[in-house]
Amino acid sequence: MQRPIGTDDATNRRLWRLVGPVVVGAGIAVLAALWLITDYGSLALFLPLPTVLVLGCRYLRISIRIRSANTGSTPVSAVIIATAVFLPPPFVILSVAIGKIVDQSLNRTHVPVKIGFNIGKEVLAGAAAAFACAATGFEPLLVHVDRADPLTSALSATVVAFLAYTVVDELVSQGLFAMLTGTPYRQRLVADWNILAVLRVGTLGIAVTTVVLYHVNQWLLFVLPLLLWCIHLASGNRIRARQGNEAWQRLAEATDEFNSVDQTAVLHAAVRKAAALFSTDEVEVQIRPPTGETRLVRSNGRDILYDGTPEDAPPAGGFVIPISLESYRGDADLGELRLRFRAPVKLTEREGYTLHTFAAALCTAIRNASTFAETQRLADSHARAAAQDPLTRLANRRKLQQYGDEVLAQGIVGVLLIDLNHFKEVNDTLGHSAGDRVLTTVGERLSAAVREGDLVARFGGDEFAVILANLSAPALAEMRAHAILDALAPPIHLDDMRISVEASCGVTTASGGTIGELLRRADVALYQAKQDGQRVVVYAHARDTADIGTLTLGGDLARAVAEGQFVVNFQPIVDLATGRVIAAEALTRWHHPDRGDLAPDRFLPAIERSGQLSAFADAVLDQALIAVSQWADAGHPIPVAVNVSPRSLLDPSFPDAVARRLAARGVQSSSLIIELTESVTLSKLEVVDDVLAALRDQGIRLALDDFGTGFSSLATLARVAVDELKIDRSFVAAMNASAPGAVVRSTIDLGRSLGLVVVAEGIEREDQRQQLWELGCPAGQGHLFARAMPADRLLAALRRGHDGRPGCLAPPLHDTDTVIRLPRNRRSRRSAAAEPGQEWTP
């Protein structure tokens, strides 16, 4: 805490440069008054009265603090102005000088420079008032009591005396304050004019009242002291009440600005408002938030002088009144509010309470701003996390969709869907940590390869997407795709290894629509790139088997089941040697009223996703069993093979539903064959084991469809006890090639060794039938024998037969009792092959 201004020698020497002329001027005025007073000897008896009044005013002082300076308001100015109207200038000067000398001698706390200034200022101001009044030609009221001037002249003289006194008093006083505070003199003249104006008006009111009372009755002057005391007391109460009201109003205005959730705005408002509220030279706030750095903000009420860390703040001295920033309950100490003054100041009780209220409100505002800032930080963090891939820091699917919808409205947009080839091998061989490093590097390279305005996102796993914004032409997308994939070509260094990254890319472009549809098209193109082994494939509508309209099929399923729109046709399965029909496979078509006949691959996914799977399965099974019953009644007891959705095998109640259907149609369980799709059911083998066992326990036979197209055919045979194997049509079509032919031969041999029936699908030509029979395949189906047809047409074909042989759809390969010379490789087999003319019963 610094030493109060005005108590050190250097300051006193500066003050004497201003005070000296004031004291000298006052001394000259006193000497002149002593010289001139002899001309008014008869009025000497009136000198003690104003002197006593001047001295007594010290007990009627109202102190008003303006920053570090205490402005004392007493009726002395009113006494001096009134004296200038009643007595000649010498009496005014002497009464002021004697009264102030005695007053200052009783005040032992003042230093000489202040005593000299206070006496000299009042003497000069009094002399100015007296001589100004005399300059108007007005005769003092007590000089010629018997012929006093009219009241209007007296009041005019009073106003002139008031103006002269005020001008001299303000010029001299504000000069001193400008020196003490270091502010410009002109600025000091207009500082705090509103408070001083109230005091000046009160002074003029007292002087005018005195003059009016005298004109009413001269003896009323003897009650002037009491009048002064009453008027001054009322003025003091009025000033204090006004100060209190203004203080609470300023406090309310200050706390209103604390409603901001911006911490900087709160702190800046606090230091500015506090400077005006407590009339300080400077205010500073130092906060210690729970999170973040300590902060100091300082202001002089007009400008923010400093805002930063306390360590870097310029030094500040003076008298300090600190208060902790605590809540109303006294907790949550967040820092300190400091009021700075150039000299020692003691706050009033009201100011002290206001300061505590202000500090508590500021504490709450800082806490609210800190809470909001933390909430905003968390919200921003969550928003970034919601739109950002946590591993690569790239955009995620949500961010890409949002950005894509924005740029689609601005021009041509390209979408690249990139998938890393053989990335699973990296994870399986080197571990997921190495895989993460590869993904991070790929993300960095993709980001470096795109242009400004493009966006790279990671969809999860090893799949990335790139949005190419504002393309000048659609063809540029493919060129950009190749350039971006080239950026992935350099090997990635993982510890001591070099990993080469290859990728496939699907490309599509559009200048409208939705980003969701573009991503679907890019996915179609990516699938084609993977399937064809190409690096980049551009989406082609002709190769897009998907249709947006397919998505709407789900809404038509319930009506389709209820109205019987699903129609079951049957393709016969024949004995390759004899051409006799030994079974039939049920093939379902959807006879859609608007879209015509739909193949199973168009509607089965929609059915499996819907809640209509059980109803659909029941409808198909029921039609198949009705056909079996009709054929048996007509003398053709052949079984029917029905494809079952893998999801049906996940339903434990499925075997019971099949049993109820068999019983309802009076069909033996041996007349039903359920075909399983091996590549789909493998992943759920443990789940479907119980269902398959229950079906076999009923006597229902199981067939493994599309054998050889899955990845675990032998594993499936080891787990699932099937009765038949069906060779996929793709192997039959390419049977003369080495690999497919080997698969066909191996499947036939495997079926014979396991005692299973082997059925070849997709037989189109007679030479295929002959070759398959020679390899030992007993049965087959295909367009060579018949296409799928309704049940009644198949029954008619069975009745009609071939060459007068009912139940046959093709001629036998050889006549009965014909000796057949089999190929050497077939004769050498140990398995019992069917002899010519021998029939095979499934």
Exposed, middle or buried, 666 (CB in 10 Å: 0-12/13-18/19+)? exposed
pLDDT of residue 383: 61
Q: Look up residue 641 and give its amino acid.
A: A
Distance between CA atoms of 139 and 125, rounded to whole angstroms? Answer: 20
Q: Look up residue 386 and give its amino acid.
A: A
pLDDT of residue 818: 58
Are 93 and 181 part of one and the same domain?
A: yes
Are 425 and 534 part of one and the same domain?
A: yes
pLDDT of residue 827: 42
Q: Give the angle 812-816-821 at the CA atoms, nearest 5°.
A: 85
The reply to whether 558 falls in a domain is no
Structural domain span for residue 466? 397-546
Distance between CA atoms of 515 and 557, rounded to whole angstroms? Answer: 28
By three-state DSSP, how is residue 459 classified?
A: strand
The last residue of a domain, from among 351, 379, 407: 379
Bridging pattern class, strands 295-299 and 282-287: antiparallel
Distance between CA atoms of 258 and 266, rounded to whole angstroms? Answer: 5
Average per-residue pLDDT for the chain: 79
Distance between CA atoms of 330 and 605, rounded to whole angstroms? Answer: 68
Whether residue 139 contacts residue 39, with contact meaning beta carbons closer than 8 Å, is answered with no
Distance between CA atoms of 16 and 176, rounded to whole angstroms? Answer: 10
Are 463 and 596 part of one and the same domain?
A: no
Exposed, middle or buried, 101 (CB in 10 Å: 0-12/13-18/19+)? middle
Whether residue 602 contacts residue 591, with contact meaning beta carbons closer than 8 Å, is answered with no
Backbone φ and ψ of 30, nearest 5°: -65, -45
Longest CA span, the chain: 178
Distance between CA atoms of 186 and 82, rounded to whole angstroms? Answer: 30
The reply to whether 533 falls in a domain is yes
Distance between CA atoms of 765 and 301, rounded to whole angstroms? Answer: 102
Element (H, E) at 480: helix 476-486
Whether residue 38 contacts residue 143, with contact meaning beta carbons closer than 8 Å, is answered with no
Q: How confident is the model at residue 503 (pLDDT cuts 50, 70, 90)?
A: very high
The stretch 475-485 carries a mean pLDDT of 93
Are 338 and 425 part of one and the same domain?
A: no
The reply to whether 815 falls in a domain is yes
pLDDT of residue 508: 94
pLDDT of residue 83: 81
Task: Point out which residues pair with 701 in neighbouring strands.
Answer: 673
The last residue of a domain, from among 492, 511, 546: 546
Are 734 and 665 part of one and the same domain?
A: yes
Task: Point out which residues pair with 779 in neighbouring strands.
Answer: 575, 759
Which residue matches tokens 């209220």? 357
The stretch 84-105 carries a mean pLDDT of 82
DSSP state of 142: T
| Chain CA centroid to CA 224, Å | 75
Q: What is the CATH number of the domain that holds 360?
A: 3.30.450.40
Q: What is the CATH number of the domain that holds 532?
A: 3.30.70.270
Q: Look up residue 698 and give its amino acid.
A: Q
The reply to whether 839 falls in a domain is no
Range of weakest confidence among 53-67, 329-343, 527-541, 703-717: 53-67
By three-state DSSP, how is residue 300 classified?
A: coil
Are 632 and 725 part of one and the same domain?
A: yes
The reply to whether 531 falls in a domain is yes
Q: Look up residue 697 and give its amino acid.
A: D
Burial 353-363 (b: 16+ CB within 10 A, else e): ebbeebbbbbb
pLDDT at 712 over 50: no
Locate 558 and state its tokens: 């319930």
pLDDT at 464 over 90: yes
Are 372 and 414 part of one and the same domain?
A: no
Distance between CA atoms of 28 and 32, rounded to whole angstroms? Answer: 6
pLDDT of residue 562: 84
Are 491 and 584 part of one and the same domain?
A: no
565-620 pLDDT per residue, tens: 899 999 999 999 999 999 999 999 988 887 788 888 777 767 776 678 888 888 99
Locate 692 and state its tokens: 């398959």
pLDDT of residue 831: 40
Distance between CA atoms of 263 and 334, rounded to whole angstroms? Answer: 13
Exposed, middle or buried, 630 (CB in 10 Å: 0-12/13-18/19+)? middle
Element (H, E) at 320: strand 319-324
Are 571 and 527 part of one and the same domain?
A: no
607-659 pLDDT per residue, tens: 776 678 888 888 999 999 999 999 999 999 999 999 988 778 878 888 999 99
234-264 pLDDT per residue, tens: 666 666 666 666 666 666 666 666 777 788 8
- Start-to-end CA span in the chain (Å): 111
The last residue of a domain, from among 517, 546, 575: 546
Distance between CA atoms of 213 and 226, rounded to whole angstroms? Answer: 13
The reply to whether 350 falls in a domain is yes
The reply to whether 552 falls in a domain is no
Whether residue 92 contacts residue 83, with contact meaning beta carbons closer than 8 Å, is answered with yes
Q: How confident is the model at residue 679 (pLDDT cuts 50, 70, 90)?
A: very low
Q: What is the CATH number of the domain that holds 661?
A: 3.20.20.450
Q: What is the CATH number of the domain that holds 231?
A: 1.10.1760.20
The reply to whether 813 falls in a domain is yes
Nearest partner of 676 among 629, 639, 724, 633, judged by Cα: 724
Structural domain tally of the chain?
4
By three-state DSSP, how is residue 662 classified?
A: helix
Are 420 and 289 part of one and the same domain?
A: no
The stretch 693-719 carries a mean pLDDT of 77
Are 690 and 821 part of one and the same domain?
A: yes
Share of the chain above pLDDT 90, in %: 24
Are 312 and 423 part of one and the same domain?
A: no
Which residue matches tokens 């599309």? 706
Best mean pLDDT range from 181-185, 379-383, 571-575: 571-575
